[in-house]
Amino acid sequence: MIDIKNISKWYGSFQVLTDCTTTINKGDVVVVCGPSGSGKSTLIKTVNALEPIQQGDIVVDGTSITDKKTNLPKLRSRVGMVFQHFELFPHLSITDNLTLAQIKVLGRSKDESLKRGMKMLDRVGLSAHKDKFPGQLSGGQQQRVAIARALSMDPIVMLFDEPTSALDPEMVGEVLDVMVGLAHEGMTMMCVTHEMGFAKRVSNKVIFMDAGKIVEDCSSADFFGKPEARSPRAKEFLSKIL
């Protein structure tokens, strides 16, 4: 589904990613973890070409992001992304937040986009709030709307970048529950998260990053179950969380 092939990236003269390679298969739930500043957000943003890469290539469902012939907006429309800060449009109702990109990017009719949006809003348990504005919802509810909005686009993969980090603790569970449900339905997911309970229970693969490199790329069973076999940096990380 996603082939990340020897990618390197620089911000100016600072090399943020060094020769990163990994493969994500259909139905994989991949957790990306590692210390702050290790390049997790940058890596995930390169997958839908929100951040350009200077070396290597990424192939998403058969389409290379570096191929000049690739229609990037079209590719991006198939890759759902949920960020730490919900990034809903504050001046639009929940309904309009859900339908805007379907209409503008996918060219769906108003009726069709509404139908799809409402189905996804129901899925995250927020149908009753369709006419509200984002500011009238809690952080956890806004993040669930952001997930529903991404799902309305019928993505082939969902990318999450610390979707629960900005939430009050009592709201983390409701967002994780939605993510667990998605995983169980077979959605291909790549999640940057510090929620190691979620990682252990739900993911099948862990990527551990340090200083711009992928230093571990293994099954979650091996990552959490055989810490002694991990690299020193991952061991140190695990010793703090396990």
93 three-class SS: coil
Residue 230 interacts with ligand ADP (CB under 6 A)? no
Does 113 help bind Mg ion (rule: CB under 5 A)?
Answer: no
- 19: closest CA among 214, 232, 217? 214
39 binds ligand ADP (CB under 6 A): yes
- Whichever of 84 and 204 has its CB closer to ligand ADP, that residue is 84
The 41-60 contact track toward Mg ion, x by CB under 5 A, reads x-------------------
- Which amino acid is it at 33? C
Inter-CA distances, 116 with 104, 142, 149, 188, Å: 14, 18, 10, 20
Nearest approach, Cβ of residue 114 and Mg ion (Å): 34
Interface of this chain with ligand ADP, residues 6 to 35, rule: CB under 6 A? 11, 14, 16
What's the closest the beta carbon of residue 101 comes to ligand ADP, in angstroms? Answer: 24
Cα distances (angstroms) measured from residue 121 to each of 95, 113, 114, 128, 219: 9, 12, 10, 9, 32
SS3 state at 205? strand
Question: For ligand ADP, which is the closer residue by CB, 108 or 233?
Answer: 233
Residues that bind ligand ADP (CB under 6 A): 11, 14, 16, 36-42
